Every structure is written in structure tokens, then in C-alpha cells.
Copies of this chain bind each other. A is one copy, B any other.
Amino acid sequence: MQTIHVGLIGLGTVGTGVVQILQQQADLIAGRLGARLVLKRVATRHPERARAVQLPAAQLTGDAMEVLQDPEIAIVVELIGGYEPARTYLLTALQQGKHVVTANKALLARHGRELFQTATALRRDIGFEASVGGGIPIIRTIKEGFVANQFLSISCIINGTTNYILSKMSDQGQDFQDVLREAQALGYAEADPSFDVDGIDAAQKIALLASLAFGSWVPSEAIYTEGITGVSQLDIAYARELGYRVKLLAMAKMAGSHLDVRVHPALVAADSWLANINGVYNAISLRGDKVGRNMLIGRGAGALPTGSAVVGDVVDVARNILHDSSGRVPPQAYQDHSLQDVPLQDMDEVVCKYYLRFQVADQPRVLAAIAGILGEHAISLESVLQKGREHVPGAPVSVVMMTHEARERSIRKALLAIATLPTILGKTMRLRVEETEEE
């Protein structure tokens, strides 16, 4: 039976998972693939981590070049994360004639185009299933399973940290800061959580998914991105009372001749599929013009789920090596000449329902003043929620309004005008409502 040699750069959480999977599933994979995958060399700056996975010292190196220049290694797996030297390593591997597999969504979001073009030009494969949604086979589904579809929309819960935090806030009535500390203690959130809680991670992932689905490169920095730090316990409770849950959604859809791509917390109906994805699970809801709506759910992170996706890619690349069919599926799902440049929609043009929570003085005619300004901007109301007067006299009262569909620009202008009212005593909370009904 033929042997295919694999090299690994990076022995962190996912790297360790990949080593374990390659060791434990060697026979299983050989029985399915028809060739043996052999992990020949692992480059790490932390050789002590090799003990946990029983890697002999001879397989270890502190120098990534020993992996990149090993003529026997056919597939290089990059799991160090970050932009550099990861980018240089992957480019070098491709130039050395190797195929590559990575889980590095940050790198792909920034340098994906360069990496994809290099791989295509050199007729080498680049696998990156593990970069979005951990073990969920979403890249494969977009590029291959739903290849016969024009994509209409993608809506996902794609960041485990924020979903864990929002789930806990919702289930246990805790505040953001308390849950965040708990998540950090459990290892579900980083010491510096901004990458996750500010929505940057989700933006990088939806940028990549949208680029594949719509065949137009979406720069993640251009995406409207709003995190969850502003979501309060109060908003979660009001949303619940109105029949909604608050989730950090990453979305992409065609809006006429523009692509509407954004990341922000949103209210989703309590009985919708996405509302019931809790804790560390990720879910990706896809709508294709032929297949209709599909949803994929799974663990969005972790050594073994992500490792499963990495090794799945390694096997995919290995099948191409065995059949001399590298480049069989183009990296960005489209042939180069079919890629387009679809402009992103301006956030001001977005149309949806809105949840607005005002902090107002407890006086007559306050509601009328707010509703009046909304009306001037052609924003009509679906419902209004004002709580009883069990509060300290003189302190602000919360008034929650759900609007009918309105344009973001109108909401923005109306809220600017409302902020000048003397009866408005604090910052107004504005959350978008996403309808994801199951048809």
C-alpha cells in the first residue's frame, strides 16, 4: 500500500488533535483512502507538548524549514495561526511543490486571494475546511454539495465564545462581564477576548464563506461588524418576553446587485432553528435557490472536532495525489475567470425590523414624542413594551419598541433626532431583528 508523508507546523491545541487522529485512526483511514498517511515531521517551538501525544524526538524539529524542504513530505499542515510566518510557510510549501492544509481563518481572510492564486497557478491543493465551524463540513458543502445552487443567503452562529456567553446570559440571567470571566476560567474565552466578543472572528469567517458562495472576494475589514459587549441582561430579558433570543449572527446575502454581509447581535424568533443553538455549538443556515434551506450544526472549536476537519482535508488532498487530480476543485469554488467583484451593500441600505430600547424620563407624552419622530422617518411600530412603575422616582424608565421593517438609514437618523429630546436619559439600544423562518 502506498504511503503519503505529511508534515505538520504547529503543535498547539489543534495540532495536538491532528497528531492524535493521525495516530489513532491510521488503519481506519488507510482502509478508506487506500494509502497510508504517515506523519513524518512536526515543527514546534514547544517540544514539551510532544510528550502528550507520544511523538518520538526524531520526528520533532524547532525549524519549520525542515518540514517545508523535506522532499518526502507531500502535504504540509499549517496550524500556527496568525499572519506571519504562517503566510510565508504556506507560500514556501506551495513553491516547494507541496499541497497545504490550514485552519487559519485570519490568514485566509487577509491573504486568501494570494494563497488561492498561488495554489491554482502551481496546480497544488489548499484545504481549509477547519478554518470555519470546527468540524462542520461547511466548506465542502458550499464548494461541492450545493454546487448546483445560486446561494441566496447564509446566516450563522459561528463564534463559540459569544454564543456561550449569550446562552449563559439568557439561561442564567447573568451579566456579560460575569459570564465572560467564567468563560475565560473555562478556556472558552481568551484572556484578551476582543477578537471574539467584538465580532472580528465571525467577520473573518463569514467573509470566507461569502467569498466561496458568491464567487466574489469579500474583505473581512469591509464588513459591518458589531460585537456583543453592548448587549445587556435587560435586552435579553425583553427579547425573551417578546418571543425572541439574542444571538451574534454572521450573515451574507444577495441584495440586488450588491452583497449584504454583516456581523451583529440580532433577535431571532425563539422557535427558529438558530435560536436553539446554544453553548459552544455553531450552526450555519444556508439557502440555495434549488435546495432550499439547509442547516449544519456541530462543535465549532476544540482539538478533535477541528482536527477531524484538518485530517478530512489531508485525506481529500491525498486522494488527489493518488489520482493525480490536484486542483480538481478550485480553492474559491469558482474557476478564476468566473470570479466576480460584487460590491458590498452600504449598511444604510439594510432593511429589517428593529428592537429599540429607550431610557426615558417617567413623564407623560414621552412615548408620543418618540413615536412622532419615528413616524416622521416613516418608521411604524409593531409593538411597544413599557414596564410597570416599580422603580425609583426620577430614575429612567425603559421603553421597548419593535418596529415594522425599516431602512437602517431612517433608523439612524430617527435615533439621532430622538437623542436630542430632553426626556431621553441614556443611550438608546438598537438591535436588528432577523427573520429566519423555516418556510
Contact = CB atoms under 8 A, between A and B. Distances in A.
Contact of A294 (B129, B297, B311, B319): B297
A290 B307 contact: yes
A196 B32 CA distance: 33
A88 interface: no
A334 interface: yes
Interface in A83-141: 129, 135-137, 140-141
B297 A145 contact: no
A335 interface: yes
Interface string A253-290: 00000000000000000010100101101000000101
A327 to B, nearest CB: 8
Interface in A44-59: none
Q: Identify the interface centre among A135, A148, A334: most chain B CB within 10 Å of its CB.
A: A148
Contacts of A273: 276, 297
Contacts of A304: 290-292
A34 B295 CA distance: 28
A98 B279 CA distance: 48
Given A141-B137, A281-B438, A334 B31 contact: yes
A330 to B, nearest CB: 7
Given A141-B137, A328-B323, A296 B294 contact: yes
Interface in A305-361: 305, 307-309, 311-312, 315-316, 319-320, 322-325, 327-330, 333-335, 337-338
A295 B325 CA distance: 31
Given A148-B21, A291-B135, A298-B293, A31 B338 contact: yes
A236 to B, nearest CB: 18
A144 B296 CA distance: 16
Interface in A418-439: 438
Contact of A147 (B141, B271, B298, B312): B312
A25 interface: yes
Contacts of A30: 338
A139 to B, nearest CB: 9
Nearest to A279: B438
Contact of A145 (B29, B129, B438): B129
A33 interface: yes
Contacts of A325: 319-320, 323-325, 328
A148 to B, nearest CB: 4
A28 interface: yes
5 contacts: A31-B338, A34-B335, A135-B292, A144-B315, A291-B298
Interface of A: 17, 21, 25, 28-34, 129, 135-137, 140-141, 144-150, 215, 271, 273, 276, 278-279, 281, 288, 290-299, 302, 304-305, 307-309, 311-312, 315-316, 319-320, 322-325, 327-330, 333-335, 337-338, 438
